[in-house]
Every structure is written in structure tokens, then in C-alpha cells.
Chain A
Amino acid sequence: MSIALDIAGLHKVYRSGTVALAGIDLQVKQGDFFALLGPNGAGKSTTIGVISSLVNKTQGKVQVFGHDIDTDLEAAKSQLGLVPQEFNFNQFETLLQIVVNQAGYYGIPKTIALQRAEKYLSQLGLWEKRNARARELSGGMKRRLMIARALMHEPRLLILDEPTAGVDIELRRSMWEFLRTINQQGVTIILTTHYLEEAEMLCRNIAIIDKGLIIENTSMKALLAKLGKETFILDLDVLPSALQLEGFQWRALEGQSIEVDVEKAQGLNPIFSQLTAQQIKVLSMRNKANRLEELFVNLVEHGRGASA
């Protein structure tokens, strides 16, 4: 299977001196539905800006379906559809003008562009509004207009930067449904979000970005399993080499300590009973600080705040 997006060693330092990306490596496979999750200011939009050549990178390599943006930019651009975080259309143009012109920039002649405009504007529930000026649309409609616009040249990779921010629940669900259909038709989708729920609903794979670094890059399933797990550090009076802890993943640490992964459903009792049975005393116990965990607590709280 080919690679839709390949990012290696990506750095971005803005003129202001802000280090937005501190060395990102990321691969997204063709056909994937991929989430880029992270708190505000993590570097999601900057990453997308670099991929879509709206932001100049400081260092690193980006390839879209094998086309390097440094040497083969037009080919890379042709494969890519972008739905940016902020509205970026001319408010005074009509929907039809906006999408047909956009197709034109990709070399799509007007007759074909008009057919596609009908197809995508209809699918996104905007065909009735085709002759309205963009500024007359509601926020959710503007968001969908940008999706229609991004699909006009039928890109193989669609990138959406926080597409559901400020969109009500009802509309959010229908948007998810639409994206799922597009993905099933073979379009690779990358979506940034700071709602874990959204990533969970839609995405197969996920990368978590924080302070310009990827801190986790795995399947959605593995991530959820990981999040359902806590790690405890137990200081023991003795640490026999033959220590048995049935049903738990554990690792020996320096001295007489061990680190045990505990799924929330398991509880701690079986650990204590097994240790007691082996005549091992637990001197102290603490929770292992986990950056991912902390991040998620923040994200989840933030997400609740935003949807409330």
C-alpha cells in the first residue's frame, strides 16, 4: 500500500521566533482515516500549512503520494485538498463562483467544473444556495462550502483542520457521515481536532501532537487501550527474581521497585493478594505520571468546555 503523506524531520520556527514544530515525523497510509490530535497551539495548523505550502518550512521533508513539495510541488498540490481552520473564501462571491473558480485553478474546464459543483454542493446540502453570496451563509454552511471547494479537483488526500469547530452536534454528525463515505470511496483523510470523541468516532490511526512534537503515533484501538490503563509504581521490601503477578504486565525497576500496568476494570486488589501470598510487603505505592494521560485530561476538559 502506498504512502499518502510522508513527513520527516519537520521543523518550523516562525519569524517571531516561536518554535511551532520541533521535528515531526509522520506517515499516513493511502486509504487511512487519520487523526492529528492536540491542544491549541500544539502545531496542527502549522503542520497542515507546510503540507499545503501556505507556510514555509524551516527544515524537513514532506511528500504527498511520493511527490516532494520541494522538487515536485505542483504534482503534490494536485493530490491534495485542503479545508483550512479559518474561512478563507471571498465573502462577496457566490458559492458557485467560488467552487468553479477553485476547480479552474486546478485546470478543470468549466463544463466539468459545473457538473462537479452540482455534485458536491448537493451532497453537502448547499445546491439551493449556489447563487447566494458566501457571507450570507451560516457558520456550518461556510464550513461545508470549504469542504465542497476542497473536493472539486477530486484529491486523493483530503486534509481538514478542525472541521467541526463551532459546528452544532446535529451538523457535526452529518459531517462525520459524509467524511466516512468519502473515505470509503478511497480518499485518504487527515483530520485535526481537539475532541478525542471525534477522533474516536472516525479515525483508524492517530498521532498526538503537543508543543511541536509527536508524542504518540498509533492505532486508535491501541490508544484507547492505553488510555484505559494506569501505571503504578510499587516499592517492595524484597524483589524476588521469581515474582509472579498473574494477569498483569509489569517491569522491574531500580532497587526493589516494580511498575505495574493496571486496566481500570481490574482493580488493585489482585496485585496485593498475589504479593501477600508471596510474602512480599508493599512499602509504598504511587501513580506514575503520564504525559499522555495529563494531556488527555486537559483535552477532555477542554472538549467539554467547548461543547457545553
Chain B
Amino acid sequence: MNRRYLVAFKSILDKEITRFMRIWVQTLVPPAITMSLYFVIFGSLIGSRIGDMNGFSYMEFIVPGLIMMSVITNSYANVASSFFSAKFQRNVEELLVAPVPNYLIVLGYVGGGMARGMLVGLIVTLLSLFFVTIQIHNLAIIVLTVVLTSMLFSLGGLINAVYAKTFDDISIIPTFVLTPLTYLGGVFYSLTLLPGFWQQVAALNPIVYMVNAFRYGFLGYTDVSLWLALAVVVSFIVVLFSYAMYLINKGIGLRS
């Protein structure tokens, strides 16, 4: 990457980070509150009655999943709303007229989504410390999983924003696709609890792989193969990145 591109990339990233930090009450506080409630209700109140989950206390088991859930939601939401509002206010034209290659536009926005996803992940992790002692089995896996997952869902948010024509269009996918997949993605239970057929169905849910890889980083336990999990995430990233590039190159929703 030459110097000019590097400055351009940093400018987009800077703008994106400034945006979500400026509206922190809308971007950082809500996940902190929601996740604290999850910790209180599922972890402390109900969790103590549920007992162990594959040899871990229920709270220990769900914390990695809940962190992952907030990373997913926030990466996606950040790029979806930021890119859509850039289209809506037309300030995306500032980038379109500038000598910025399209892949940098994608990387800049995705970088912003990752920054918010990971920052929220960190906040939620710190909050969880009030409820549970976190153990770390493999830090590298934790970091790798969170980086890849936030990248994947930032790309998803970008694609959503490209197609979106109204503000409602950027909440449809989160409500009807992401939330159900996350709840069914092994955040709250081990897949081993499911009957055989449903285990196979769950294996089609990509979020299962991310949650499990992430949980492995903390607990050293996973329902699915770690390498398969990483392969799934990386494949999705490759596909979504290519698709995002195709859309931006074509100028879908951007150039008339």
C-alpha cells in the first residue's frame, strides 16, 4: 500500500471511529447494559439452578458466547448504519470523487466496524469480571476469533447498507436473521444437549463456529473442531469481501 493510500485508509478509519465515539450513548452504552442484564439473570439468578454445562459453571459457559454476541451485533450495526447514513446524507460522495480505490473504502468501513465490535467486546469482557473469574486457555485464539468475527459481520453490515433504501432496511437482517442465528448458535447451551438431528441442523449455522472457537480460547472446550471453525469463518470472509467489492465496483446504490 503506498503512502497516499495509507493516509486515505487512516482517514476513513478515523472518521468511523470518531463517529461511534461521538454517539457513545447509542453505540457503547446499550450493549453494556444488555449484557450486564444477561449476566445478572442468566448467570447469577437462573444459572445457579442450571448447574454445570460440560464441566463448567453455566456462567463460565455463556460469558464467551455473550461477548461474541455483542461483537457480532455491534460490528454489523456500525457499518450498516454508518454506510447507510453516508449514502443517505450523500457524504459517501466525498469518497467516491476522491482517488481512493474501492477496496480501501471497504477496508476503511470494515475497520471501523471491527473497532466498535472489539471495543464493545472488551467492555463486555470487563463487565463480566464482576460476575465470574475469566480463565484464558489460549489468548491467540481469542484474539484471532474476535478479529475474524468482527470482520465478517462488518462486511455483512456493509452489504446490507449497500442494498438498504430506508433506515428500516438496516434492521431487518439483524432482527430476522442475526438475532435468531445467534440465539441458536450455541451461546446459551452446548450443542451436545441437542438431539442428533438438530445437532446437524445447528452445524449449518455459521455463528456456532465463531462462538465455539471463541469459547475454546477461554475454556479450552469446543463443540466443533477448532480448525473447521476457523476455516468456516475465513471462507465466509472471503465470500463476503468479494461480494462487497463486486457491489461497490458496480456502484450499486452509489452511482446512477
Contacts and interface: CB of A to CB of B under 8 A. Distances in A.
Q: Verify that A and B bind, or say they do not.
A: yes
Nearest to B2: A107
A90 B12 CA distance: 13
B99 interface: yes
A105 B256 contact: no
Contacts of A38: none
Contacts of B7: 104, 107-109
Nearest to A75: B99
Contacts of B101: 74
Contact of B98 (A89, A93, A102): A102
A86 B91 CA distance: 11
A54 B93 contact: yes
Interface string A134-168: 00000000000000010001000000000000000
B95 A90 contact: no
A105 B98 contact: yes
B5 interface: yes
Interface stretch (A76-84, A211-219, A260-268): A76-84
Contacts of A104: 7-8, 10-12, 14
Contacts of B94: 88-89, 98, 101-102, 105, 149
Contacts of A74: 99, 101
Contacts of A153: 98
B97 A52 contact: yes
Contact of A88 (B15, B18, B22, B90): B90
Contact of A54 (B4, B11, B89, B97): B97
A92 B3 CA distance: 29
Contacts of B97: 52-54, 77, 80, 82
Nearest to B98: A105
Nearest to B3: A107
A227 to B, nearest CB: 34
B194 interface: no
Contacts of A87: 90
B126 interface: no
B33 interface: no
- Chain B interface mostly helix, strand, loop or mixed? helix
Contacts, number: 86
Contacts of B19: 92
Contacts of A100: 11
Interface in B46-105: 85-86, 89-91, 93-101
Contact of A97 (B12, B15, B98, B256): B15
B220 interface: no
Interface in A6-61: 14-15, 49, 52-56
Contacts of A73: 99
A55 B96 CA distance: 10
B8 A107 contact: yes
A78 B8 CA distance: 13
A103 B95 CA distance: 10
A54 B255 contact: yes
Nearest to A107: B4
A80 B101 CA distance: 16
Q: Which of B5, B85, B96, B101 has the most CB of A within 10 A?
A: B96
A90 B99 contact: no
Contacts of B89: 88-91
Contact of A106 (B86, B90, B98, B251): B98
Nearest to B9: A104
Contacts of B255: 53-56
Given A15-B256, A74-B101, A106-B4, A53 B96 contact: yes
Nearest to B18: A97
B178 to A, nearest CB: 26
21 contacts: A15-B256, A49-B256, A54-B255, A55-B256, A56-B255, A74-B99, A75-B99, A77-B97, A86-B90, A87-B90, A90-B89, A97-B18, A100-B11, A101-B15, A101-B94, A103-B11, A104-B7, A106-B8, A106-B99, A149-B94, A153-B98
Given A53-B255, A77-B97, 4 more contacts: A14-B256, A101-B11, A102-B98, A109-B7
User: Top 5 A-B pairs ranked by shortest CB distance?
Assistant: A104-B11, A107-B4, A105-B98, A74-B99, A88-B90
Interface of B: 3-5, 7-8, 10-12, 14-15, 18-19, 22, 85-86, 89-91, 93-101, 251, 255-256
Interface of A: 14-15, 49, 52-56, 73-75, 77-78, 80, 82, 84, 86-93, 97-98, 100-109, 149, 153
